[in-house]
Amino acid sequence: MLGKSYYGYGSSSSNLDSMIGSSVWLIIALVLAIVGGILIYFLFLNKKNEGKFKGFVGWLYDFLSFKKMFLEALLKIIYLVMAIYITLSSFALIGTSFLTFLLVLVLGNIVIRVIYEFALILLVICRNTTDIAKNTLKKPEEKSEPKE
C-alpha cells in the first residue's frame, strides 16, 4: 500500500511530483518556443530570402510570412458545416412545431450566411488593401525621371 491511496489512485506526493515535472517541461517548452521563434523569424523569414525557396519550403515560407491567407478556405468550410448542421437539426423540430421548423430552417441559414458574409467582407477589404499597397509602391527601375 506504499504510495497508493485507499481508492487506488497515486498518493499526493506522486501527484505533486507529476505536477512539478509538468511545470518544468512547460517552462522548457516556453523557452524553446521563444528561442525557436526568434531564430526562425530572423534566419528563415528574412526579406532577403523572399522568392528564394521552392516547393514545400517555399510554401512554408509563404505560410509563416502570411503571404497567403488560409482563413478564407477555413471560413467556407465552417460556413458549409454550419449551414448543413442548421438544416439537418431543424428537421428535429418538425415534431414539435412546423412553424418553428420553417423558421429555424430559413432564418437560421440566412443568419449564418450574413455572419459569413461579414467575415468575408473583412477578408476582401484586407486583400484589396494589400493589392492597393502593392500597386502604389513603385520599384526603383519603374520610377520615371522628369523629362526636360
Same domain, 77 and 89: yes
**Domain that includes residue 31, residue range:** 8-66
Q: What is the mean pLDDT of residues 15-40?
A: 91
pLDDT at position 57 is 92
pLDDT at position 73 is 87
Residue 140 lies in a domain: no
Same domain, 73 and 31: no
Same domain, 108 and 59: no
Contacts of 79 (CB under 8 A, 6+ apart): 112, 113, 116
Same domain, 39 and 92: no
Neighbour count for residue 63 (Cβ, 10 Å): 11
Encode 20-37: b = buried (16+ Cβ within 10 Å), e = exposed: eeeeeeeeeeeeeeeeee
Q: Where are the alpha helices (DSSP H) in 4-137?
A: 12-39, 55-64, 71-90, 98-136
The region of weakest confidence among 60-69, 89-98, 106-115, 131-140 is 131-140
Answer yes or no: are the C-beta atoms of 60 and 71 closer than 8 Å: no
**pLDDT of 9 strictly over 70:** no
Same domain, 31 and 50: yes
Residue 40 banded pLDDT, cuts 50, 70, 90: very high
Question: Number of structural domains, the chain?
Answer: 2
Q: What is the mean pLDDT of residues 10-18?
A: 73
**pLDDT of 100 strictly over 90:** yes
Residue 109 lies in a domain: yes
Angle (nearest 5°) at CA 136 between 134 and 139: 75
Residue 147 lies in a domain: no
**pLDDT of 91 strictly over 90:** yes
Tell me which of 40, 66, 92 is where a domain ends.
66
Residue 1 lies in a domain: no
pTM: 0.60
